[in-house]
Structure 1
Amino acid sequence: MIPLLIFALFAGCRKDDDPGNVDEIPGLGGDVWVEGPVDKWIEDSLTTTYNMTVKYKWEQGELDPTKALVPPHEDKIIPVLSTIRRGWIKPFEEEVGNLFVKRYTPKYFVLVGSSQYNMDGTITLGTAEGGRTIELYTLNDFRVNWMPGYVPSDSPNVKMMFHTIQHEFAHIMNQTVAYSPDFKRISVGKYTGNWVNFTDQEANRRGFPTAYAMSSSDEDFVEMVATMLMEGRAGFDRIVNNITEDGADGTPAATARAVLRQKEAMVVEYYRNSWGINFYNLQTRTRAALVALIK
């Protein structure tokens, strides 16, 4: 039985105005506050080291005014960002160096406490905007054990957050250097706007890593990247090897497995040829970092 409410992890990249170019409205707060310990941590840990900045306080016009959103709790900011640094930034830095991180990772994070509910019944957990900004939602659901290192205690939420970031960063990378058009032809004719009506397992049987990957070739590519990084090589192998039934559309199980392997090879080739990155090394580092965070 397919749930009535389907979680959409991602939304397409928007071309909005620069989030910093919003005039303050007198009497309604605006973007003025006295810097505190959170701001000092962001400056020392992200801005100085990686050329990133973070917006976690509200500004008029910052987000979609038609959505009912709430700001993040301030006590979530450092735990969330510390976790992001350890689980996403560090593996890239260790594999390809600090210069790559400074140059290509998004420069601006906007943090939101709640999810963004959409008219089609989906929930947006993250967006990437123009290769510069990532918006992350649902921060107030993030829980931690208050111990040194801020080790997260809710592994599903942590995995969801990192999947969102990996997905959005993969968008940014292929907006900078396009992936091969041959990828678009692998599942041609099988993409659908009705992806919300499929489970991930049903999508697997049609040669897709997740249901959301069925929405377009661009989403298919970045979902391959995010799934491979988050699950690790052994985990992705399990996804492929567990396809033992034919798809409801008649796709033979052997064909679905072969399609996913073909897409895997093209992701690995893209990272090697376009970025000089050994994807399997990055995958190993990323998976190890995630396991260390959620153990």
Structure 2
Amino acid sequence: MKKNILFILPVVIMALGLVSCSNDEIKSESVISVDNYIPNEFDLWLEENYRNPYNIDFKYRYEEIESDLNYYTVPATYEASVKMAHLVKYLCVETYNEVAGIEFTRSQFPKMFFLIGEWEYRNNGSYILGTAEGGRKILLSGLTYLNPILAGEKESGDFAFEFGNDVAENLNHYYIKTIHHEFTHILNQTKDYPTAFRQVTPSSYVSDSQFSEPYLSAYLKRGFISAYAQTNTAEDFAEMVSVYVTHSPEWWEAQMKAAEAKWEEDADQTQTGRVLIEQKLDITRDYMHTVWNIDLDELRDCILRRQLDITSGKIDLTDLTLSSKKASN
């Protein structure tokens, strides 16, 4: 089964002491899947908001069979799982409803999310934020850090967040961009992206060296929107979509200005990084519009508007009220 992986820079691994428990009434503790459990209010909310409208199974109870046994993994907490379910629904699922229509979301969005508490740490010091498997499942890791990020903390234990206490950037970097990245892989597995994209920087991909110098600091000049995009063409394409739609036009233009130079170490690079990235963006825009009828700029506007709703506190990420109860109030 094909698995697409998104991982990022080396970090210092914090020591965790998590207590596993199958009783969901202890909301702050991790949740292990057990047979014949009695559905709680979160299960009923997931039924109404994921399973019934989209046939999506949102798995927050830890199941060994769904985890990757090549890594040490831990369960996600109940509290963080509730908040992540709201974030995925509001910033991902419903954005595609708004831009492409609910039938697109029903037919194309992955049918399973599986949450775990820690990131999957690789032996080279990097760690995996998420994976997409076979067009049906997205793994979201690092739920342990969601509450500190939402609280605007700069670090959790020994783990310092990439963007300090910037809630929006950290949410994007560790979770939301990951979902849009992995969903792009799923769309590409259904209908491949154009060959023309592969030809923009055909000999510039560096595989597992993307986080080593000189590539780590030169990716914009080399024609890539992120260091990870230098891995291969599939990751490059997914990064083009996910980075573009989760950042403001002002942020994007700042990156383009930083890319207004050639990478001097490559004598064969005849264009500036900006020209190369904008060529890729044009191809990406055309693919999303002609194949999926999605306007990337409209999708970006939708995500940024909804992101502001989250960071301003407009959306209650803990509300598990069912629509039947809301209607009766």
Do they superpose with TM above 0.5? yes
Can you give the 5+ residue segments of structure 2 that lack an aligned partner in the other structure? 1-7, 12-31, 152-164, 313-329
Which has the higher mean CA deviation after the structures are superposed, 154-163 or 212-221? 154-163
Pairing partner for 2:114 from 102, 110, 124 = 110
State the distance in 2 between where 1:153 and 1:41 align: 29
1:124-139 to structure 2, matched below 5 A, reads 124-139=128-143
Work out the number of aligned pairs and report it.
266
2:287 is aligned, of 270, 274, 278, to: 270
Q: How does 1:54-69 map to 2 (within 5 A)?
A: 54-69=58-73
**SS of equivalent to 1:228:** helix
Q: Distance in 1 between matches of 2:35 and 2:249?
A: 44
Distance 1:293 1:168, change over 3 A: same
What TM-score do the two structures reach when normalised by structure 2? 0.75
Question: Is residue 202 of structure 2 the alignment partner of residue 177 of structure 1?
Answer: no
2:219: which partner in 1?
Answer: 203
The 3 A distance-change label for structure 1 pair 272 and 7 is farther
Provide Cα deviations, 1:41-72, integer angstroms capped at 9, x if missing partner.
Answer: 11111111222111111223321223111100
CA distance in 2, matches of 1:157, 1:232: 15
Residues 1:284 and 2:287 are matched in the alignment: no
Counterpart of 1:263, as a letter, is: K
AA at the equivalent of 2:84 = V
Check whether the contact 1:41–1:78 (CA below 8 A) recurs between aligned residues.
Answer: no
1:6 and 2:6 are equivalent in the alignment: no
TM-score, normalised by the number of residues in structure 1: 0.83
Deviations 1:179-221 (Å, cap 9, x if unpaired)?
1111101101100121121566520110001011101011000
Query: Which residue number corresponds to residue 93 of structure 1?
Result: 97
Residue pair 2:129, 2:141 contacting (<8 A) in 1 also: yes
Aligned to 1:255: 272
Alpha-carbon distance in structure 2 between the residues aligned to 1:79 and 1:253? 47
CA gap 1:85/1:114 in 2 versus in 1, 3 angstroms: same
Structure 1, unaligned runs of 5 or more? 9-27, 146-151
More off after superposition, 68-77 vs 238-247: 238-247
Deviations along 1:62-84, one digit per CA (max 9) or x if unpaired, are 21223111100111111111011
The residue type equivalent to 1:37 in the other structure is E
Q: How does 1:116-265 map to 2 (within 5 A)?
A: 116-143=120-147, 144=150, 154-160=167-173, 161-193=175-207, 194-198=209-213, 201-250=217-266, 255-265=272-282
| Corresponding residue of 1:22 | none
How far does the alpha carbon of each residue in 1:16-41 deviate from its partner, in whole angstroms, 9 at most, with x for none? xxxxxxxxxxxx97554221111111
After superposition, give the CA deviation of every residue in 1:70-110 in whole Å (9 maximum; x if it has no partner). Answer: 10011111111101111112221111111111110001000
Q: 1:36 to 1:294 in 2, by over 3 A?
A: same
Once the 2 structures are TM-superposed, how far is the Cα of residue 280 of structure 1 from its aligned partner? Answer: 1.5
The answer to whether the 8 A contact 1:7-1:124 is kept is: no
* 1:215-273 residue CA offsets vs partner (Å, 9 max, x unmatched): 10110000000110111333222211222444252477962110011001001100111
Deviation digits for residues 144-194 of structure 1, max 9, x if unmatched? 46xxxxxx9833431120110010000000111111111101101100121
Question: Judging changes above 3 Å, is the alpha-carbon distance between structure 1 residues 292 and 153 closer, same or farther for their aligned structure 2 residues?
Answer: farther
* Amino acid corresponding to residue 275 of structure 1 in structure 2: W
- Secondary structure at the counterpart of residue 135 of structure 1: strand
Amino acid at match of 1:162: I
**Secondary structure at the residue paired with 2:113?**
strand
Matched-pair contact (CA < 8 Å) for 2:62–2:115 = no
> How far apart in 2 are the matches of 1:155 and 1:279?
20
Secondary structure in 2 aligned to 1:263?
Answer: helix
More divergent stretch after superposition (220-229 vs 38-47): 38-47
Equivalent AA in structure 2 for residue 257 of structure 1: R
RMSD: 2.3
SS at match of 1:204: coil
| Superposed CA offset, 1:104-154 (max 9, x none) | 000100000111001121100100000000000001110146xxxxxx983
